[in-house]
Amino acid sequence: MSDTLIGLVSHYSPSGQERSAMDWLVTRMKSLGYDDAFIDEAGNSVGVMGGSGKQVVLLGHIDTVPGEIPVRVDNGILYGRGSVDAKGPLACFVDSVAKVGVRDGWQFVVIGAVEEERNSEGARFIADQYQPDFAIIGEPNQWDRIALGYKGSAWANVTVKRGQTHTASGEVTAAEAAVEVWLKIKAYVDSFNTDKQKVFDKLLLTLRGMDSDSNDFEQWAKLKIGVRLPAEVSPEDWYAKLNEIISDSRLEGDCHLEKAGFAVPAWGCEKNNQLVRSLLNGIRSQGGEPRFVYKTGTADLNIVAPVWKCPAVVYGPGDSALDHTPNEHINLDEYQKAVNVLAASLEKLTCDRISSKDKM
C-alpha cells in the first residue's frame, strides 16, 4: 500500500514543476481502478470513483517547496521532499478511495492540486468547479488527529520615503523611520494578544524582510510584513489597522502600504457533523484515541471551505514539524494506519443516513 506514496514522492515537483508528478498520479489512479482520471484546466490531477450521487471531494496538493531530498526507505521510514507536506496525505486519499471502491449513490473525487505552496492556483480553480456534500483537505496532522481550523494570512509591504539629507544632519533616516513604524505595529499586535490564551486566537506577526536604498535626491526603506490571522480578524480588518498605524505615525515624507500576494481569512470547521463522526470512528477502528487540533498555518481549506459551505475537515499522516525541512520523512506504518482510518471513515460515511443538518 506504500507504492502510491513512494512513487509520488519519487517525482520531485516543486511549485511550477508539477507535470511529471501529475502525469504519474493520473496513470496510477487509472491502474487502481478509478472510473476516470485526468488533468484539469488548472493542471490539477483528478481521479473520480463512482457516478452521480452525494459527492466527497478529497483535496490534497501535489506541489512541494523547493529542495530535492534523495528518496530512500530506511527501517520503514520514507525520506523525500513532499513525503509529509503533502504527498503523504494525497497518496493516502488515493489509496483509501481505491480500497473503498465504488459506493452506490456516492462519488469520490480525489484532487492533487498545484501551486498550494505559492498562491493556491489549483484550489482557486476548483472552488468554482465543484459543490461537494463533504470535503476532506489533505495536510499532515498525524494519523490519529483531525484538524478543524487553520489561521488566515495576509502579506504587505510598507515603504517609507524621505528626501535625501546630509549624514551629519541628525535627521531621521528612512530606514530609522521604517523601524519606528515596525515597532508600532508590533506594539499593537502585542496588545491585541495580551488576553488571548490560545495561539489560534492570536495575531502572529513576522518581519519577513527589510530593504533600503537611496539615490541623489531620495532615500527609502521597505518592510515586508506577514501575519497569521485569527478568525476574528479578517484580512480587510488587518489592512485597515496597518493603514491606521501608518497614518498615526505622522512621519515626515511619504509612507504607504502595498498589499502583497493573496490574503485569506481564517477558517474553523464545525465539529458536530457526520463527517467528523465518521473520522472519529475510523481512528478508533485502528486503536487510536482521536484528537482535534487547530493549526497556525494556512491551507487550501481556507480557499475552498468558504465557497463550498459543506462539512469539511483536514486529515493526513505525517508530522507537520517536518514540513519544508531538509530531513522530511514519514513512517510507513503510520501511513498505512492513515489509509485504513480514512477507508473505514469513508465506508461509515457512505453507509450512515445523512442528517438534514449535515446537508447544510
Tell me the CATH number at 33.
3.40.630.10
Residue 164, pLDDT score? 77
Q: How far apart are CA 43 and CA 37, in angstroms?
A: 12
Q: Which residues are designated catalytic?
A: 63, 116
Confidence category of residue 353, pLDDT binned at 50, 70, 90 = low
Q: How far apart are CA 283 and CA 287, in angstroms?
A: 7
CA torsion angle for 86, 87, 89, 94 (degrees, to 10)? 150
Residue 147, pLDDT score? 97
The reply to whether 357 falls in a domain is no
- Domain boundary (236, 264, 292) is at 264
List the domain range (segments joined by +) for residue 249.
152-264
Give all strands of the β-sheet with 152-163 in edge-to-edge order.
204-214, 218-229, 152-163, 254-264
Q: How far apart are CA 175 and CA 180, in angstroms?
A: 9
Residue 167, pLDDT score? 60
Residue pair 124/303 in contact by the 8 Å Cβ criterion: yes
Q: How far apart are CA 290 and CA 10, in angstroms?
A: 31
What is the tens place of the pLDDT at every residue in 112-136? Answer: 999 999 999 999 999 999 999 999 9
Range in 37-46, 161-170, 216-225, 309-318 with the lowest mean pLDDT? 161-170
pTM: 0.90
Q: Roughly how many angstroms between the first and final C-alpha of the chain, as a whole number? A: 35
Confidence category of residue 274, pLDDT binned at 50, 70, 90 = very high
Q: How far apart are CA 176 and CA 121, in angstroms?
A: 38
- Residues 41 and 175 grouped into a single domain: no
Average pLDDT, the chain: 93
**Percent of the residues in the chain that have a pLDDT greater than 70, as a whole number:** 94
Is 60 exceeded by the pLDDT of residue 356? no
- Residues 46 and 125 grouped into a single domain: yes
Rounded mean pLDDT, 34-48: 98
What is the tens place of the pLDDT at every residue in 248-273? Answer: 766 555 888 999 989 999 999 999 99
Residue 360, pLDDT score? 43
What is the tens place of the pLDDT at every residue in 174-213? Answer: 898 899 999 999 999 999 999 999 999 999 999 999 999 8
The reply to whether 35 falls in a domain is yes
Using alpha carbons, select from 43, 59, 55 the residue that is nearest to residue 138.
59
- Tally DSSP H helices, then E strands, for the chain: 9, 16
Q: How many residues does the chain have?
A: 360
Quote the DSSP letter at residue 14: B
- Residues 32 and 120 grouped into a single domain: yes
Question: How far is C-alpha 214 from the geometric centre of its chain's CA atoms?
Answer: 38
Query: Which grid cell is 29?
Result: 489512479
Q: Number of folded domains in the chain?
A: 2
Rounded mean pLDDT, 47-51: 96
Residue 199, pLDDT score? 95
- Residues 7 and 51 grouped into a single domain: yes
Query: Which grid cell is 254?
Result: 511619504
Rounded mean pLDDT, 133-146: 97
Residue 359, pLDDT score? 45
Query: Which grid cell is 148?
Result: 478543524
Question: How far is C-alpha 300 from the geometric centre of its chain's CA atoms?
Answer: 5
